[in-house]
A = this chain, B = another copy of it.
Amino acid sequence: MQTVIIGSGNVAYHLAKALVEVNCPPVQIFGRNERELQSISEELKIPYSTKNLVNSDIYLICVSDHAVENVSQLIDKKDSLVAHTSGSLPIDALQGNYRKAVFYPLQTFSKSKQLKYSKIPFFVEAENEEDQKILFGLASEISENVMASTYEKRKYIHLTAVFACNFVNHLFSKAKEISDSQEIPFNYFLPLIDETVQKIHEIEPKKAQTGPAVRNDRRILELHEQLLKDESLEIYKTMNHSIQKMYEL
């Protein structure tokens, strides 16, 4: 099965690299940003183009959600299977005369951060069983964790990921803002952060909750509120309120 990667961002780079690593290198990486394409092309030894899309069995559209529809209209390959990689778009966001599918890797991608691809869950959806099998096969080359998923389910998977990844990372940013303001090195907190995550591999997060809100320690909650302002204070109040609701305090 030949694949083409469309796009030159984080997802495009990592999917291309994952396929290279399992000896199924994409036959082309295609997009608009020539500088990025060239850099990926050089690193991974894959041909790139900004103009002519080569023929291929599978096209994986790895562009921002809002660009998927436009990009999908440019693909004029009616015997091919075209999949987008978004967690929050239905299969029919693809607008063209070809077989349609979704190929959604549940991971946070940054070009500068190496990844082990074999653990990434892939959620695939296709219009028929045969195409589903093809994408299962492709994803299974990369990962041990491949599942079918409808749009309804994928929406919630993405939403869960926003809480568990995007918001968590923002809390790290806010935490660093606080520690920076007092010239406390943020790396002091890395063992604590590592343990926070280690824990939920063994204990349900609801059972692992610690801190002043779940202890209903009013003195500390008030002390902390005095130390905070603006968005940090809003986050502090919102999170504590939600913790106290969850534990009926």
Contacts and interface: CB of A to CB of B under 8 A. Distances in A.
A51 interface: no
Q: How many copies does the complex hold?
A: 2
Contact of A176 (B65, B113, B168, B206): B206
Nearest to A227: B159
B163 A178 contact: yes
Contact of A239 (B170, B203, B208): B170
Given A188-B145, A199-B108, A238-B238, A223 B164 contact: no
Contacts of A44: none
B178 A174 contact: no
Q: Considering residues A115, A153, A178, which has the most beta carbons from chain B within 10 angstroms of its beta carbon?
A: A178
B109 A210 contact: yes
A213 B220 CA distance: 31
Interface string A202-239: 11111011111111010110011001101110111011
Given A65-B217, A178-B156, A238-B235, A193 B164 contact: yes
Contacts of A200: 169, 172, 190, 193
